[in-house]
Amino acid sequence: MRGADGRVRGFHNMCSHRGNKLAWSRSGNCRGALSCKFHGWTYDTSGRLVAVPDENNFANLSKDRNGLTPVATDVWQGFIFINLDPHPRETLREYLGEVVDLLEG
């Protein structure tokens, strides 16, 4: 998803609480937040956990440690690429190699 800062970010489509699916439509607009339909945990466009209903009932809950799980993203020529490897060995530009020079622009 694209944040208010214009940056594209990707996440695994699952709530960090019980693993429920967050985005149900194939496309659309999240209007600044994704909210789980199961228990209502809400995440902002940077993947941070920002709201938990009945938060006081979760002993030792750390919102900082319960954000969405990110995936690597990169944008080239308007196309969004994702890499499920949490620590990609190379950048998208390195992976594409000479194709970048041939097709850029």
Is residue 96 a part of any domain in this protein?
A: yes
The pTM for the full model equals 0.85
- 17: tokens are 């609480």
Place of tokens 């594209």: 8
Helix (H) or strand (E) holding 70: strand 70-76
- Residue 105 — very low, low, confident or very high, per pLDDT cuts 50/70/90? confident
Q: What is the CATH number of the domain that holds 52?
A: 2.102.10.10
pLDDT for the residue numbered 91: 93
Number of domains forming the structure of the chain: 1
Residue 4 lies in a domain: no
Within-domain flag for 80: yes
Q: Compute the mean pLDDT over every residue in the chain, rounded to the nearest whole number.
A: 92
Judge whether 23 and 13 are in contact, CB under 8 Å.
yes
Segment 22-71, tens digit of pLDDT: 998 888 887 889 999 999 999 999 999 999 999 999 999 999 999 999 99
- Identify the domain containing residue 24 by its residue range: 10-103
Question: Does 5 reside within a domain?
Answer: no
